[in-house]
């Protein structure tokens, strides 16, 4: 039986991963900040799927909390076979803002924690000779809107680099790069999304199933849905000057929705 540790496992894409693994009979380790919501999610998964669900209350902006989760990943007691680095949030602060606190939080949760947990998982899994690491990035890594785009670009590059270092160990790394997904992520960030065409929105459960198929095929990058694969391919080959213009247009539209 596999055991999957999922950060941000009580909402959005993380919750969809939890449902997908529980539906396959996998044991779970859910990591989240809110203890009440964490226990509620764990109880529901136990009730509906009859699986073992362990919980870790941890705010990944805190380095001591990062260490506790890292220690769990390296432990050979009830070992973790799958890590889903999913915890994250929108960083909407401007790059010219004097207050760097929102950026620092983004770095801690979506860069340092990903690096810390990916390293711990890679060490533990390679020692056991098997494992899967899924890092949730974003197609926004291919544009140049804000620091969130820059952070997600790092996640994509890091994932592929980690995969190179773990080659031959039995551990596979996949970067999940979704487009817009219908979750509470956007509402939490104050993004209405009214200017986004309906056809571009993805369902979280379908997205996760697409990702897990890519993981099973050994793909280092997963871009769910044909439409976002096409968009991603186009962005990768578009001259950077045109990408900058597109990014400015997207930023302008988003600012109008505030």
Catalytic site includes residue 158: no
Residue 163's CB is within 10 A of a number of other CB atoms, namely 20
Cα gap 51→130, rounded to integer Å: 22
Handedness of CA 83, 89, 90, 94 (dihedral sign): negative
Strand partners for 71: none
Dihedral of the alpha carbons of 202, 203, 206, 212, in degrees to the nearest 10: 70
Structure tokens of 61? 């902006």
Q: What share of the chain is helix, strand, coil (3-state, %, to 5)?
A: 55, 15, 30
Residue from 17, 132, 148, 158 carrying the catalytic annotation:
148
Structure tokens of 204? 């979280």
Structure tokens of 15? 């919750």
Q: What are the C-alpha distances in Å from 111 to residues 1, 12, 15, 131, 174?
A: 30, 19, 21, 21, 16
Structure tokens of 176? 């999940």
Q: Annotated active-site positions, please?
A: 148
């Amino acid at each position: 039986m596999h055991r999957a540790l999922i950060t941000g496992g009580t909402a959005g894409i993380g919750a969809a991963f939890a449902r997908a693994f529980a539906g396959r009979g996998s044991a779970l380790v859910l990591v989240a900040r809110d203890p009440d919501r964490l226990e509620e999610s764990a109880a529901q998964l136990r009730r509906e799927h009859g699986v073992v669900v362990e919980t870790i209350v941890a705010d990944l902006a805190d380095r001591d909390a990062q260490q506790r989760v890292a220690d769990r990943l390296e432990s050979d007691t009830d070992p973790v076979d799958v890590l889903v680095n999913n915890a994250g949030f929108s960083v909407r602060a401007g790059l010219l803002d004097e207050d760097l606190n929102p950026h620092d939080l983004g770095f801690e949760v979506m860069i340092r924690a990903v690096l810390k947990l990916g390293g711990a998982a890679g060490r533990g899994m390679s020692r056991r000779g098997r494992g899967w690491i899924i890092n949730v990035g974003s197609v926004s890594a291919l544009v140049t809107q804000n620091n969130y785009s820059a952070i997600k670009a790092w996640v994509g590059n890091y994932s592929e680099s980690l995969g190179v270092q773990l080659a031959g160990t039995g551990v596979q790394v996949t970067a999940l790069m979704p487009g817009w997904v219908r979750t509470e992520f956007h509402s939490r960030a104050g993004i209405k999304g009214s200017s986004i065409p309906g056809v571009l929105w993805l369902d979280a459960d379908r997205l996760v199933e697409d990702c897990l198929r890519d993981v099973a095929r050994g793909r280092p990058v997963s871009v769910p849905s044909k439409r976002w694969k096409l968009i991603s391919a186009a962005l990768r080959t578009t001259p950077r000057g045109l990408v900058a213009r597109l990014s400015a247009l997207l930023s302008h539209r988003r600012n109008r929705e505030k």
